[in-house]
């Protein structure tokens, strides 16, 4: 897919995300039922998870405010944001930041710029399954921040940032 990018995650991370999504659902922040992200994530785990983790296809660029491209992907931009929020509410801050950066890279069309450096390392995907892959992705995002004059991200949770941005625009 020309408008998509693969993201690789490891098994423990996939299971941890499933747990955070279940907790988020129980707190009534996500829709219930078979069509929910919780059920879909569990289905992805059952179908694809092996000893090396699994790959997901996400859109290479998403328009702001959840507008999605017409093609099919494993996860939409909204799904990536929901995962980041669930991790922010119930998970480790570092993992929540990582998924928030993934969402930002898709929203700002930065993933397209980070990917060529990964190709030089023999990877045609964003690797969130290894420490080295995570650092590589984070460093690429930090480099991009510096290029655009962003010295430090606000010290608030992802949910607070999202709500604040919605209020400011609305």
Write down the pLDDT at residue 14.
94
Q: Is residue 106 within 8 Å of residue 60, measured between CB atoms?
A: yes
Reduced to 3 states (helix: H, G, I; strand: E, B; else coil), residue 44 is helix
Q: Could you tell me which residue, 71 or 125, shows the higher pLDDT?
A: 125
pLDDT of the residue at 5 = 86
Confidence at 84, pLDDT banded by 50, 70, 90: very high
The string of pLDDT tens digits covering residues 89-143 is 888 888 998 998 898 888 877 777 777 666 666 678 888 988 888 888 888 888 8
Give the pLDDT score at 118. Answer: 62
Q: How far is CA 106 from CA 25, 39, 61, 85, in A?
A: 25, 24, 5, 16
**pTM, full prediction:** 0.78
Residue 3 has pLDDT above 60, yes or no: yes
Rounded mean pLDDT of the chain? 79
**The total number of residues written for the chain in this structure:** 170
Angle at 78 between CA 51 and CA 82, to 5 degrees: 65
Per-residue pLDDT, averaged over 31-38, amounts to 71
Q: Is the pLDDT of residue 15 over 60?
A: yes
Secondary element (H or E) of residue 145: helix 131-147
């Amino acid at each position: 897919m020309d408008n998509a990018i693969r993201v690789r995650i490891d098994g423990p991370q996939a299971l941890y995300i499933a747990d955070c999504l279940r907790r988020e659902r129980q707190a009534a922040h996500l829709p219930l039922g078979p069509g929910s992200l919780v059920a879909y994530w569990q289905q992805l785990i059952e179908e694809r998870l092996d000893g090396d983790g699994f790959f997901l296809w996400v859109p290479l660029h998403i328009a702001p405010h959840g507008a999605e491209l017409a093609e099919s992907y494993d996860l939409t931009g909204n799904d990536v944001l929901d995962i980041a929020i669930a991790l922010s509410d119930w998970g480790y801050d570092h993992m929540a930041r990582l998924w928030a950066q993934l969402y930002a890279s898709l929203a700002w069309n930065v993933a397209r710029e980070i990917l060529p450096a990964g190709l030089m390392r023999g990877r045609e995907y964003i690797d969130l399954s290894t420490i080295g892959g995570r650092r590589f992705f984070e460093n690429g995002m930090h480099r991009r921040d510096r290029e655009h004059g962003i010295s430090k991200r606000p010290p608030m949770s992802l949910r607070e940032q999202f709500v604040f941005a919605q209020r400011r625009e609305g």
